[in-house]
Amino acid sequence: MTQTVAQRLRWSTVEEERELALPGTGGERITHPEFAGIEFVHVRAKSLLNHVPAAAGLPFEWTINVYRGCTHACTYCFSRPTHEYLELDAGRDFESVIVVKINAVERLRAELRAPKWRGDHVALGTNTDPYQRCEGRYRLTRGVIETLAEAGNSFSVLTKGTLVTRDLDIYAEAARRGVCRGVSMSIPTLDEQVWRDTEPGTPHPRARLDAIARLSEAGVPTGVMVAPIIPGMSDDREGLEAVVSGAIEAGASSITPIVLHLRPGVREVFEPSLAEVRPDLIERYQQLYRGSYAPEAERERISRLVRELVAKHGGTRRSQVSALRGERRQPPATPEPAGEQLRLL
């Protein structure tokens, strides 16, 4: 007997809880006219704050993800395999079956009030984008950052969504109080063709630069993640210079280049897509990606080029990403290659 999506999920659905349902809820699979081909599954999460193991070597210990799956449909997305934990696939399901934690705000309020909560920094956007298009309907990310700001709990956000500027009022005030530590915008390329081929559901990259400018003008610390830099597609000097100069002109406070990762589960989606749009690169990738990461020499070549471009367009002082509480957590036993954060003067 085939299981339904709701039966395979790790949370209870809300089809019986009509008083808590959002507009459009009528069963376990929910569709909205403005999202053709997309299904939403409303769930009630038992907890919202997710603890990150120290072995991960990340500069934060807690994350929040109000959505699972992402309509940005980036072919290289490192989060794709997380859909497999729900017994959904990392390909089309990841892009078209979006889990929505409709009780996110109420759950967060309860967790922040708990005596055991220490007020640690919280990172949003570490799994799937908090400002993907459906946030315009559900407004859960706005509720979450508003709740964190009201509690004086520091937070940061990573996104590709220009919808972030809708919440400029919250970010500006939270930044003034030192609660919002920053918003990072992922902008891997300004090349129209590469953008369309690799991240078809995202806002135009130049619109993302405009969002950086608006945030920066409002006093919100902003960063640009040039990520991922895709060998053979977006690693040329001219293309990288366009991103770097655009980020600096927009007022970004840091630039972090990260070369493409191809972990198991991601590779199986990315390589067929690459074969369709750039078959000439297949042989190169077979040599370059014998594992999940490009060779160290290739990563250093690209990082060195970005450092040169940043210096050319504004100057930097080199700084490794540091822990948000002032001390670096222990790195994992086998650390993954991290990007160097270049803070702009």
Q: What is the DSSP string of 76-88?
A: T-TTGGGGGGGT-
The token pair that represents 322 in the structure block: 């540091």
The span from the CA of 29 to the CA of 217, in Å, is 41
Between 14 and 316, the more confident residue is 316
- Cβ atoms 76, 232 nearer than 8 A: no
Please determine, for residue 262, whether its predicted confidence score (pLDDT) is greater than 80: yes
Mean pLDDT of 48-61: 85
Amino acid 38 reads I
Q: How confident is the model over 130-154, as pLDDT tens digits?
A: 999 999 999 999 999 999 999 999 9
Mean pLDDT of 4-19: 45
Q: What is the DSSP code (8-state) at residue 261?
A: B
The span from the CA of 157 to the CA of 66, in Å, is 12
Lowest-confidence range among 32-41, 147-156, 307-316?
A: 307-316
For residue 152, give Cα distances in angstroms to 6, 99, 130, 146, 265: 35, 28, 20, 10, 38
Amino acid 23 reads P
For residue 324, give Cα distances in angstroms to 55, 70, 99, 217, 329: 17, 27, 29, 23, 10
Q: What is the DSSP code (8-state) at residue 18?
A: G
The span from the CA of 33 to the CA of 44, in Å, is 23
The pLDDT, as a whole number, for residue 19 is: 35
The pLDDT, as a whole number, for residue 37 is: 94
- pLDDT category at 236 given cuts 50, 70, 90 is very high
Q: How confident is the model over 270-286, as pLDDT tens digits?
A: 999 999 999 999 999 99
